[in-house]
Amino acid sequence: MTVTVLVATFRGTQSITIHESQTEAETALMSFVELHWAEQFEGESEEFSRSEDERLQRFFADDRNAYVIAEADLSQLEEHIDAARPTPRG
């Protein structure tokens, strides 16, 4: 099983979320940016007329903010969970 992990940092506070796809992680990243935009830019709203790429670049230009989207293979963990499950009686 493979999942996509999003780690986003805003001024030292980390958010770690797990998603089923890269697209879901990218959507969550944009939600993270939108959530913190007003605090980062003191209420500027006209930036939302820019493209997502431009907003990401502007938001993460501040070195206190960062993000990583990466795939994680959970196959070995899944095997351990499956092995630890009791077998059904019947």
Q: pLDDT tens digits, residue range 1-54?
A: 899 999 999 998 999 999 999 999 999 999 999 999 889 988 666 656 678 999
Residue 10's nearest CA partner among 48, 40, 31 is 40
Of these ranges, 41-45, 64-68, 78-82, the one predicted with the greatest mean pLDDT is 64-68
Q: Which long-range contacts does 19-24 make (Cβ < 8 Å, 24+ apart)?
A: 22/69, 22/71
Residue 90 resides in a domain: no
Q: How far apart are CA 62 and CA 89, in angstroms?
A: 57
Q: Quick check: 35 and 13 in contact, CB under 8 A?
A: no
Number of domains in the chain: 1
Residue 89 resides in a domain: no
Structure confidence at residue 87 as a pLDDT band (50, 70, 90): confident
Alpha-carbon Rg for the chain, nearest whole angstrom, is 18
Mean pLDDT, rounded, for 62-76: 92
Amino acid symbol at 29? L
Structure confidence at residue 81 as a pLDDT band (50, 70, 90): confident
Mean pLDDT, rounded, for 52-66: 92
Residue 42 resides in a domain: yes
Query: 8 has which bridge partners?
Result: 15, 67
* Structural domain containing residue 18: 2-84
